[in-house]
A and B are shown apart, each in its own frame.
Chain A
């Protein structure tokens, strides 16, 4: 039985979340167009702030100071105050209430209806509003959640014992559905090959050994060989499903290395992760291949098969040097910190770092001299990269929250990749690239297993449906007489 007071804190959290949305408006991607700042109504935001603070004070007396705080939003920084109220409300929460399952199922039902009708050709955007509000409504919370994750995940707990019945075939089916829907007849205007797929096609039509080639030689070499067999246009489109398949299989392997039997769940979450969705919207083909090799390398490293790990690490480096440098750099820093704390390094890790470390030095020099990575931090740029770059594909609050929830039971290596990459986003001005390279699917799968069994399937369904919605909106279509 749920106490009334506990629900008050949930009401408060809900109202302050809505206040964040109404203050900034939310950015939703429909038909490969980001509609920015929809429903930006500051007055409603301020009144929701007040309501949130009142419910907060009702749930626990000592939160009474939230009421004058909320009235401050009439004067300045309503968005900061709504974020502060939201965080306060989170601290007042005690456990997940019984209505959470029904709320999730309700959102699922509307989103599934949207997807089914969109496949038939009827777009009713109102049906995807609830899921969009949760996922893309409050991008300002994403850096906060990721920072909280660093603290929350620090204390390592055991791997959860929960079980979930899934098969790899289902995960592959969902992933291929996400990545092939834009090639089917649903894309009635037939516009899919966008300028952002052009770099690879352009390179295929006139291969050269420039900067573009140096950063991803292996991938371009593979494309070149395949380009002799298949038409360039077909190749540039169908590389996406094939790469997503490779990515999902590597996620399956890594999931199984973390915990035996967790592979299919990790594969499913990888298939609907922001990484795969970003692949649909931007030219990240080489990145995905590099990530797949690196995740396989990580899984061999976790199983102490160092030889294979080193080989795959070098393959990853040749596929895309930026991605590899990020993940390899975190592994080197992890080894160093591990040594500082424990005064010893596991044999396999030592061998791995000694045999791949010199290449890291080389790639870092290459990166900061030839490719000039942008350095600096500004909140506007950070939020722009989350909400606008690649059509807001990494704007997935629920996915990140779930990952952070499972972070404290992840292997320390994954936690290190998460922590260092998140800290890097505040230094390097390449936020989206850093975020999509993190293997979020591992902590997310552990988060699912940690959850109450009644919530697992509704939550997974929600994430899968979000992947399908983003896939269905990755191409323009006719809506109300105009193409959007």
Chain B
């Protein structure tokens, strides 16, 4: 099952790009689609980050990562590319020599906590179609409206 996490606007040398993050739980990859906002087309939808890179037990130089107004305690790992993880182990940014990827999710529960957050929770995994008393009341209302519409609409 793929879950669409979010998107961001990102500028590089060639101009402004949208980046879409789509998580795939079966192949354990995060698909990143790059969208060109002026031609409004998907330019690249194959680049995938393996999920072990997205979420991991991180150690490194600690510093504070600023994301919008949020200050997140984070680690920086400098290798062939610079990786920045939150203390809870979520990849925040990956900087290569000529590219810069920032992971911004639809939701941030548990990002500043100490433990590794639940991956599905991070993606906003919720029961979209629950069957509970509200739903049943809604269905009853819908059925009543159906009977009304049958009479009213000719």
> Which residues on A are within 8 Å of B, measured CB to CB?
25, 28, 30, 33-38, 40, 102, 105-106, 108-110, 112-114, 117, 122, 124-127, 129, 195-196, 198-199, 211-212, 215, 282-284, 322, 371, 373-374, 380-381, 384-385, 388-390, 429-430, 432-433, 454, 457-458, 461, 476, 479-484
Contact = CB atoms under 8 A, between A and B. Distances in A.
Contacts of A212: 38
A33 B6 CA distance: 7
Q: Is the interface of A mostly helix, strand, loop or mixed?
A: helix
A126 B41 contact: no
A322 B109 CA distance: 41
Interface in B109-154: 109, 121, 124, 126-131, 134-135, 138-139, 141-143, 145-146, 148-150, 153-154
A35 to B, nearest CB: 6
Q: Which 5 A-B pairs have the closest CB atoms?
A: A195-B9, A109-B146, A124-B138, A109-B145, A36-B2
B3 interface: yes
Given A125-B129, A211-B38, A283-B37, A109 B4 contact: no
Nearest to B8: A195
B7 interface: yes
A232 B7 CA distance: 23
Given A35-B4, A198-B9, A480-B126, A384 B39 contact: no
A384 B126 contact: no
B122 to A, nearest CB: 10
B41 A430 contact: yes
Given A35-B4, A106-B146, A127 B127 contact: no
A129 to B, nearest CB: 6
A102 B146 CA distance: 9
Contact of A195 (B7, B107, B129, B138): B7
B40 interface: yes
A389 B40 contact: yes
Interface in B1-40: 1-4, 6-9, 15-16, 18, 20, 22, 33, 35, 37-40
Contacts of A322: 39
B139 A127 contact: yes
Contacts of B41: 374, 385, 389, 429-430, 432-433
A36 B142 contact: no
A284 B41 CA distance: 12
B134 A36 contact: no
Interface residues of B, number: 48
Given A35-B3, A105-B153, A282 B138 contact: no
Nearest to B19: A195
Contact of B33 (A36, A106, A384, A430): A384
Contacts of A454: 154
B42 interface: yes
A277 to B, nearest CB: 15
23 contacts: A28-B128, A33-B4, A34-B4, A35-B128, A36-B2, A37-B2, A40-B1, A109-B142, A109-B146, A113-B142, A113-B145, A127-B138, A212-B38, A322-B39, A381-B45, A384-B42, A429-B42, A432-B41, A433-B39, A433-B40, A479-B126, A481-B126, A484-B124
B106 interface: yes
B106 A33 contact: yes
B71 interface: no
A109 B149 contact: yes
Contacts of A195: 7-9, 18
Contact of A389 (B35, B135, B150, B153): B35
A124 B134 contact: yes
B49 interface: no
A36 B4 contact: yes
B146 to A, nearest CB: 4
Contacts of A109: 142-143, 145-146, 148-149
B43 interface: yes
Contacts of A381: 42, 45
Given A105-B146, A484-B126, A432 B4 contact: no
A113 B129 contact: no
A114 B109 CA distance: 28
A61 B141 CA distance: 43
Nearest to B141: A113
B131 A126 contact: yes
Contacts of A117: 138, 141
Given A109-B149, A195-B7, 5 more contacts: A110-B139, A199-B16, A389-B35, A483-B106, A484-B126
A52 B146 CA distance: 28
B5 to A, nearest CB: 8
A125 B128 CA distance: 7
Contact of A374 (B43, B126, B153): B43
B15 A211 contact: yes
B138 A126 contact: yes
- Residue picked from B43, B124, B130, most chain A C-beta under 10 Å: B124
A480 B142 contact: no
A382 B135 CA distance: 35
A107 to B, nearest CB: 9
Contacts of A283: 37
A301 B23 CA distance: 49
Nearest to A278: B40
